[in-house]
Amino acid sequence: MSDAALPEPGSTVPTSLPTPRPDDPTLVAPATDEPTPVEPPSADRRPHERTHHGHTFVDHYEWLRAKDDPEVVAHLEAENAWTRAQVAHLAPLRRAVFTEIKDRTLETDLSVPTRQGGYWYYSRTLEGSQYPLHARVPVTDPADWTPPALEPGEPPAGEQVVLDENAEAAGHEFFSLGSFSVSGDGRLLVHAVDTTGDERYTLRVRDLEAGTNLPDEVPGTFPGAVVTPDGRYVFYPTVDDAWRPYRIWRHEIGTPTTDDVVVLEEPDERFWVGVGLSRSQRFLQIELGSKNTSESWLLEADDPTGDFRPVWTRREGVEYTVEHARLGGRDVLLALHDDDARNFELVALDVPAPGAGPADPADARVVVPHDPQVRLESVDAFAGHVVLGLRRGATPRVAVVALDDAAPDGPWVPRELEFDEPLYSAAIGANPEPDAPLLRVTGTSFVTPPTVFDVDLATGERVVRRRQPVLGGYDPADYVQRREWATAEDGTRIPISLVWRRDAVTLDAAGTGADPAPLLLYGYGAYEISMDPYFSVPRLSLLDRGVVFAVAHVRGGGEMGRAWYEEGRTDRKMNTFTDFVACARHLVEAGWTAPDRMVADGGSAGGLLMGAVTNLAPEMFAGVLAGVPFVDALTSILDPSLPLTVVEWEEWGNPLADPEVYAYMRSYSPYENVPDDASHYPRILAVTSLHDTRVLYVEPAKWVARLRAAGAPALLKIEMSAGHGGVSGRYARWEEIAFEHAWTLDVLGLAATEED
């Protein structure tokens, strides 16, 4: 239900897995020994009444919620069998797309090393391996900040494998790494793994000198554990019955986990908690946050058994985060906050002394004032510079403040790093060392592969450390990206990003579509999450077949600042859906595409968007692809016993307590608004996972059952060993993408050209 970001390798087991064969049965369907169904599954109608605020809704498919019921499992397996049968003709196309992704990817590759303590850390991938391995080499010259030049596939002298994810994943259908924290002396690694997809992680401590795990092991943790710089203690979060991280524990390494101590417990069910270390490693930090309120607690890292204390007392509706810095020779906290500053401002305040109580916000000094046109999103402090992540003009940017040239108490004038593309995403990269003279920055666009830069903070000189290789002769000049603007029902201008292959789309003299092209329109629109320009190797398989890829930056996201988010949540949520329809209509009216040549795509909260626009404007789309879709929104938000429901009330409203919220959500919840006759609906593919704890599998299962009963051409694909993010492992993920791309191309009329 929530898309909150999670707080963005030795063994005798072989470190590689077989590369999937072109005739791998996971890439073709149905399997040769599986009977081909001749009729789609028809779920029984079993009336279940739900009454709130004088309204009764009869839900005929709520019985599908019984996850362990053999009858439910049989129905889900029947849905998979039907889907396999319906897409069996696309097997050659799926193989082709999978092969294209694989052939464009440098499978044996490595990341740019990042310096931490006495080592350079990096990750490597090997051809045939599903997962990366994490390794390090010693720093040979403390004065040299240039990362070592390593060659893919050639382990450097002195390399130590810290963690091999392939070895950890051996014997499991699913694998996810949830925590990765190395002690300051480089002696211990704290890591956590999930092997089912339900996001319950087992925490382990590895002695990196011996290459073995210590007896310390804690099941059922949440991602984001951290080890103290001295390697003596681990702080980790756990969840309550509603899958909300609500406790932070302290574990002393080498002692029984039954002796672990709760250092903070958050009783308010709206709040999540997380723990980490300041960049300076001076402070342990606990962050608590709901959708619109947050609080930070500090403890000196050299006193890990002491008491955490709040920086500012929690104030309803005020969000803030803090970063430790040295300004004018004294310790300060830099706080980003939105108190009377909708797009956030940056202030400096003195570090609250132990036992002194929270600081007074009135004593803070404004160093970067609020700007209604600039959304401040992050702050990072270095020895002589402060770096801001910000958003202006619907694109993310990075700006630097040189403290030598800035008054300690402000105001500061951040200097933005410039890039030569109008649609470009820039972000702060891995920069663990506060004294580093270089700033690691990453950048990408719809046509430029992800690029890692090191920026000299003193001179501004920029060095490209790595640009993601794209094999097969990729040339960015072959592709074009553009920003267009649609007009919403209320007159608001909605940005649309487009990218296409230059020689595959015909433009008229005005520079818009001369002939309607096949087009995939993606949208999300929730949680203030922005859909920024990004490069995708798999997307090339669509672009090279003539598909235009477009992103509708609808309200509810954060592309245009905090107001953009607020205009697409709670009692203004309908703006998200009508914005998307307005973008689709603009693309048709401008000649880019036609309704019978357009597929809509979105996942999770974007899946809610897909269900809503299907009900609002089914005539606008030839197909709808909905990933882990939140389509039974009202049922879920009415049930506080379900994972994440209470924390979501600030995003959607509380229909349990408020009849107006109930009526409003009932007006758009996709499942409840499927008409009795949906035979005119576009083709629909819903993809979900059995172990998803964020959007339960039952939502798309019920939705597809109701759609099909109403005559809609709907398919359900459910992964039986995966979670909210789908399958794990890069080859498995490529197979999943190939499946979805093949379905999309088929809907767009572009599949018939592929030959077996």
Stretch 137-164: mean pLDDT:
93
pLDDT of residue 657: 97
CA dist 329 → 325, 326, 332, 403, 404 (Å): 10, 6, 9, 11, 12
Joined tokens for residue 711: 């005559």
- Distance between CA atoms of 566 and 111, rounded to whole angstroms? 37
Flag whether pLDDT at 253 surpasses 90. Answer: yes
Domain check: are 89 and 191 in the same one?
no
Q: Which of 628, 631, 610 is closest to 620 using CA atoms?
A: 610
User: Are the CB atoms for 557 and 579 separated by under 8 Å?
Assistant: no
604: annotated active-site residue:
yes
Q: Which of 566, 577, 633 is closest to 610 using CA atoms?
A: 577
Query: Lowest-confidence range among 217-231, 379-393, 539-553, 717-731?
Result: 717-731
- Distance between CA atoms of 702 and 688, rounded to whole angstroms? 12
Flag whether pLDDT at 30 surpasses 50. Answer: no
Domain check: are 79 and 227 in the same one?
no
The answer as to whether 212 is a domain residue is: yes
The answer as to whether 285 is a domain residue is: no
pLDDT of residue 514: 67
530: annotated active-site residue:
no
The answer as to whether 510 is a domain residue is: yes
Q: What sections of 113-181 are H helices per DSSP?
A: 165-169
CA dist 156 → 124, 176, 203, 637 (Å): 12, 27, 29, 52
Q: Could you give the 3-state DSSP secondary structure of residue 424?
A: coil
Residue 496: CATH number of its domain: 3.40.50.1820
Handedness of CA 374, 380, 381, 387 (dihedral sign): negative
Stretch 728-734: mean pLDDT:
87
Domain check: are 94 and 181 in the same one?
no
Give pLDDT tens digits for 561-580. Answer: 999 999 999 999 999 999 99
Give pLDDT tens digits for 461-474. Answer: 999 999 999 999 99
Give pLDDT tens digits for 579-611. Answer: 999 999 999 999 999 999 999 999 999 999 999
Give pLDDT tens digits for 405-439. Answer: 777 777 999 999 999 999 999 999 988 888 899 99
Flag whether pLDDT at 232 surpasses 80. Answer: yes
The answer as to whether 534 is a domain residue is: yes
What value, to the nearest 5°, has the Cα angle with vertex 602 and ends 505 and 100?
Answer: 55
Question: Of the residues 324, 724, 741, 746, which is catalytic?
Answer: 724
More reliable by pLDDT, 272 or 197: 272
- Distance between CA atoms of 291 and 1, rounded to whole angstroms? 13
Give Cβ neighbours of residue 393 (< 8 Å, ≥ 6 apart): none
CA-based end-to-end distance of the chain: 40
pLDDT of residue 16: 26
What value, to the nearest 5°, has the Cα angle with vertex 634 and ends 633 and 635?
Answer: 95
User: H-helix or E-strand containing 618?
Assistant: none
Q: Give, as one character, the DSSP assignment of residue 620.
A: G
- Distance between CA atoms of 352 and 349, rounded to whole angstroms? 9
The answer as to whether 439 is a domain residue is: no
Tally of CA atoms within 13 A in the half-sphere of 479 that contains its CB? 26
Joined tokens for residue 354: 């132990």
pLDDT of residue 754: 60
What value, to the nearest 5°, has the Cα angle with vertex 247 and ends 243 and 251?
Answer: 120
- Distance between CA atoms of 479 and 223, rounded to whole angstroms? 38
- Transcribe 479-511 into DSSP letters: EEEEEEEEE-TTS-EEEEEEEEEGGGS-B-TTS
Of 268, 300, 328, the position where a domain reaches its end is 268
What value, to the nearest 5°, has the Cα angle with vertex 533 and ends 527 and 537?
Answer: 115
Question: Of the residues 553, 692, 728, 746, which is catalytic?
Answer: 692
CA dist 579 → 88, 518, 565, 614 (Å): 35, 21, 13, 13
The answer as to whether 92 is a domain residue is: yes
Question: Of the residues 111, 290, 604, 669, which is catalytic?
Answer: 604
pLDDT band at 17 (very low <50, low <70, confident <90, very high): very low
The mean pLDDT value of the chain amounts to 91
302: annotated active-site residue:
no
Joined tokens for residue 539: 């997307």
Domain check: are 176 and 256 in the same one?
yes
Q: Which of 288, 297, 247 is closest to 270 using CA atoms?
A: 288
User: Are the CB atoms for 557 and 625 separated by under 8 Å?
Assistant: no
Domain check: are 603 and 497 in the same one?
yes
Flag whether pLDDT at 13 surpasses 50. Answer: no
Joined tokens for residue 210: 């011996």
DSSP strand pairing (226-227 vs 385-392): unpaired
Q: Hey, what's the torsion of the CAs at 166, 170, 175, 176, to 10 degrees? A: -40
Q: Give, as one character, the DSSP assignment of residue 38.
A: S
Of 246, 268, 290, the position where a domain reaches its end is 268
Flag whether pLDDT at 756 surpasses 70. Answer: no
- Distance between CA atoms of 756 and 754, rounded to whole angstroms? 7
Token pair 């501004």 is found at 460
Flag whether pLDDT at 34 surpasses 80. Answer: no
pLDDT of residue 509: 63
pLDDT band at 404 (very low <50, low <70, confident <90, very high): confident
Give pLDDT tens digits for 324-361. Answer: 998 877 889 999 999 999 999 999 998 988 888 899 99
Q: Give, as one character, the DSSP assignment of residue 613.
A: H
DSSP strand pairing (212-221 vs 226-227): unpaired
Stretch 146-170: mean pLDDT:
93
Domain check: are 638 and 737 in the same one?
yes
DSSP strand pairing (233-239 vs 519-523): unpaired
User: Are the CB atoms for 494 and 485 separated by under 8 Å?
Assistant: yes
- Distance between CA atoms of 319 and 328, rounded to whole angstroms? 27
Domain check: are 195 and 99 in the same one?
no
Instruction: Kindly report the number of other CB atoms within 10 A of residue 534's CB atom.
Output: 15
pLDDT band at 28 (very low <50, low <70, confident <90, very high): very low
The answer as to whether 77 is a domain residue is: yes
Give pLDDT tens digits for 186-203. Answer: 999 999 999 988 888 999
User: H-helix or E-strand containing 636?
Assistant: helix 633-637
pLDDT of residue 726: 60
Cα 2 to chain centroid, rounded: 10
Joined tokens for residue 106: 């440098």
Q: Could you give the 3-state DSSP secondary structure of residue 262?
A: strand
Give pLDDT tens digits for 675-699. Answer: 999 999 999 999 999 888 778 999 9
Rounded (10°) angle between helices 605-616 and 574-589: 60
- Distance between CA atoms of 671 and 462, rounded to whole angstroms? 51
Give Cβ neighbours of residue 171 (< 8 Å, ≥ 6 apart): none
The answer as to whether 455 is a domain residue is: no
- Distance between CA atoms of 470 and 22, rounded to whole angstroms? 21
The structural domain count of the chain equals 2
The residue range of the domain holding 176 is 172-268
pLDDT of residue 33: 64
Token pair 């793994």 is found at 193
Domain check: are 640 and 733 in the same one?
yes
Domain check: are 59 and 208 in the same one?
no
pLDDT of residue 753: 59
Give Cβ neighbours of residue 74 (< 8 Å, ≥ 6 apart): none
pLDDT of residue 76: 96
Of 252, 268, 284, the position where a domain reaches its end is 268
- Distance between CA atoms of 561 and 268, rounded to whole angstroms? 28
Backbone angles phi, psi at 681, to 5 degrees: -75, 155
Domain check: are 91 and 194 in the same one?
no
Give pLDDT tens digits for 41-96. Answer: 999 999 999 999 999 999 999 999 999 999 999 999 999 999 999 999 999 999 99
- Distance between CA atoms of 636 and 1, rounded to whole angstroms? 9
Q: Hey, what's the torsion of the CAs at 586, 588, 590, 591, to 10 degrees? A: 170
Residue type at 456? Answer: D
Joined tokens for residue 502: 């230059």
- Transcribe 665-724 into DSSP letters: HHHH-TGGG--S--TTSPEEEEEEETT-SSS-THHHHHHHHHHHHTT--EEEEEETT-BT
